[in-house]
Amino acid sequence: MRLTDASVAIRPRSAWEALDLGVLLARRHAGLLMASWALISLPVLALLTALLWEYPSWAMFVFWLLKPAFERLPLYILSRALFGDTPTLGQALRAFPRLLKPQLIASLTWRRLSPTRSFDLPVLQLEGLSGAARNQRLVVLGQRDTGAASWLTIVGVHLEMALWLGLVTALYMVLPQQMSIDLDWQKLISPDAGNWLWLDHLSNLLYALALIVWEPVYVACGFSLYLNRRTALEAWDIELVFRRIRQRLGGVAYALLVGLGLLLVQPMERSWAQDTPAAICPLPEADPLGPDADRLQQQTLTSKASRAAIGQLLDAPPFENRQTVTRWRFGDDPQKDVDRGDVESLGQLLRGLFHLAEFWKSIDGIALFFEVLLWAALFGLIGLLLWRYREWLTLFATGREKRQRVARERPAVLFGLQVTPESLPDDIAGSVERLWDEQPREALGLLYRALLSRLLGEFRLPLKSAHTEGEVLQLVEELYQDDLSAYASRLTRHWQNLAYGHRPPPLSSRDELCQGWRQLFGHGVPR
């Protein structure tokens, strides 16, 4: 490494300026970086996709996990390019397997989630350090600029997501509308159908494409941060200045050095000569006690007395402020328990747990009681709610079909009339004829009741008590039996005339109606 060959101006920068330099670096070598990244990452993605076709998210996860491995190639290219030795694409790719080897497992596993990944990578790859040496180095390097490195990673995560989402959205927007609707429907109808896997893989591919753009920048920024840190630590800029001076003054310097050497020979010899006599300032004798030894013992104030006085002074205010605090506390100092030994306390704890279990067993009965109580309360509440809203439930919660089926189960009393076949005489027409003269209303009523009974029983008409005569007629007409309809309308007319108009039916209608009844239904009772 020759700093003079560096293609960037080496000077101490702020962390953000260094990141900017990284972006610039990545941009200068964008073609090479992106092509090499694509050439190593896309085949891996293809392989993963093929292997994990059924599990697109796993393929994505493994690919994401492998990112640090891919990052070594851009760093290699950048480190060479920094000193003007830009490798070709082929050279870079050939170097890649060799780059992969050191500490690959660590990079892919426990160091994978390190937020300062790109900042640390040069230590591993360019300096070849590992283990404790690497850690020491990282501590030194990481005294500054780790914040910027972490921010770089965080921003990178967001940039990746933004690019990926943007690509997905762009893809979605260029879909023809018909197709996207179709897609939505199919997704809605059968979300588990296998034919959507390719869509997931497509989104994986979009993520890989987003990485092609971002990853070289990420590596370059980490690298430039690292360079900046080393510039500061090792004073590369000063070194560079010196080198430049040396280059400029190359020839003159030697001459100057020789001349200077000649000039300095005399005084030096003289000083050696002066150095030979006894030392002007001899080293003090080795004192075993040092400054603490008793001195000045002949004086009125010995060193010992003065030390005691100083100690006394230092022990009193304002140097030392003592105060006595009196407070209440529990007799058992918890500190003592700890002192008694861990084994004993552990045993006590176990015994306590054991006691606790026994205690729980004893209150099992109570728990059971409360459980029963709570369940009973819940069921009671449900029952209360059902009772409170019973009208609602019968009206609106029961299905329409169910209600109709209930209605079809031949009610015995319909419209306040007995309509079961058993309640009717066997020979309807005969009974009607007998009744007609004395009680025309009963006779017609019987006939009408018999008609309703037949309609319910034989024709399975869903009659309800809310149906008026007119509606019954309409239902009969929906059966499309002309004879029945004509007869029913005739009978209903007579019945209405009698019941609501209070007009007795003409005598001639008796035979007509009974005849009609016999023709339609014969003599017997309905089945």
Partner 1 sequence: MSDQEQPSATPAASGSSPEVQRQRAIQLAQALRHELQKAVIGQREVIDDVLTALIAGGHVLVEGVPGLGKTLLVRALARCFGGEFSRIQFTPDLMPSDVTGHAVYDLASEQFKLRKGPVFTHLLLADEINRAPAKTQAALLEVMQERQVTLEGRALPVPQPFMVLATQNPIEQEGTYPLPEAELDRFMLKLRMDYPDAGEELEMVRQVTRSARADMLEVTPLRTLLQAKDVLALQKIASDLPFDEQVLDYAVRLGRATRNWPGLSLGAGPRASLALVRGARARALLRGGEFVIPDDVKGCALAVLRHRVRLSPELEIEGLSVDQVLLQLLEQVPAPRL
- The piece of 6-14, 69-77, 291-299, 494-502 that touches partner 1 (CB under 8 A) is 494-502
- The piece of 304-312, 370-378, 480-488, 500-508 that touches partner 1 (CB under 8 A) is 500-508
Pick between residue 318 and residue 501 the one whose CB is nearest to partner 1.
501
* Distance between CA atoms of residues 318 and 320, nearest Å: 6
| Interaction between residue 499 and partner 1 (CB under 8 A) | yes
Q: Which of 466, 508, 524, 527 binds partner 1 (CB under 8 A)?
A: 466
Tell me how far, at minimum, the Cβ of 452 lies from partner 1, in Å.
9
423 contacts 408 by C-beta, under 8 angstroms: no
Cα 84 to chain centroid distance, Å, stands at 45
Residues in CB range of 394: below 8 A, 6 or more apart: none
| Interaction between residue 104 and partner 1 (CB under 8 A) | no
Tell me how far, at minimum, the Cβ of 161 lies from partner 1, in Å.
41
* Distance between CA atoms of residues 234 and 339, nearest Å: 52
Residue among 168, 176, 156 nearest 201 (CA)? 168
Site size toward partner 1, by CB under 8 A:
22
Tell me how far, at minimum, the Cβ of 428 lies from partner 1, in Å.
17
- The piece of 288-296, 315-323, 390-398, 426-434 that touches partner 1 (CB under 8 A) is 390-398
| Interaction between residue 147 and partner 1 (CB under 8 A) | no
| Interaction between residue 270 and partner 1 (CB under 8 A) | no
- The piece of 128-136, 168-176, 346-354, 464-472 that touches partner 1 (CB under 8 A) is 464-472
Residues in CB range of 183: below 8 A, 6 or more apart: 175
Q: Indicate left, alpha or beta for 232 from its phi (over 0: left) and psi (-120 to 50: alpha).
A: alpha
Residue in the block written with tokens 């070849």: 128
Residues in CB range of 16: below 8 A, 6 or more apart: 148
Q: Which of residues 414-443 bind partner 1 (CB under 8 A)?
A: 415-417
Q: Which of 3, 199, 496, 520 binds partner 1 (CB under 8 A)?
A: 496
| Interaction between residue 518 and partner 1 (CB under 8 A) | no
| Interaction between residue 465 and partner 1 (CB under 8 A) | yes
| Interaction between residue 387 and partner 1 (CB under 8 A) | no
Q: Which of residues 442-461 bind partner 1 (CB under 8 A)?
A: 445
| Interaction between residue 376 and partner 1 (CB under 8 A) | no
Pick between residue 137 and residue 467 the one whose CB is nearest to partner 1.
467
| Interaction between residue 330 and partner 1 (CB under 8 A) | no
Residue in the block written with tokens 């809203």: 389
279 contacts 272 by C-beta, under 8 angstroms: no
| Interaction between residue 501 and partner 1 (CB under 8 A) | yes
Q: Indicate left, alpha or beta for 417 from its phi (over 0: left) and psi (-120 to 50: alpha).
A: beta
Three-state SS for 444-499 is HHHHHHHHHHHHHHCCCCCCCCCCCHHHHHHHHHCCCCHHHHHHHHHHHHHHHHHH
Tell me how far, at minimum, the Cβ of 209 lies from partner 1, in Å.
49
Residue in the block written with tokens 């076709």: 53
Residue in the block written with tokens 């004829």: 433
* Distance between CA atoms of residues 151 and 158, nearest Å: 11
Judged by the rule CB under 8 A, the positions of this chain that interact with partner 1 are 391-392, 395-396, 415-417, 445, 464-471, 496-497, 499-502
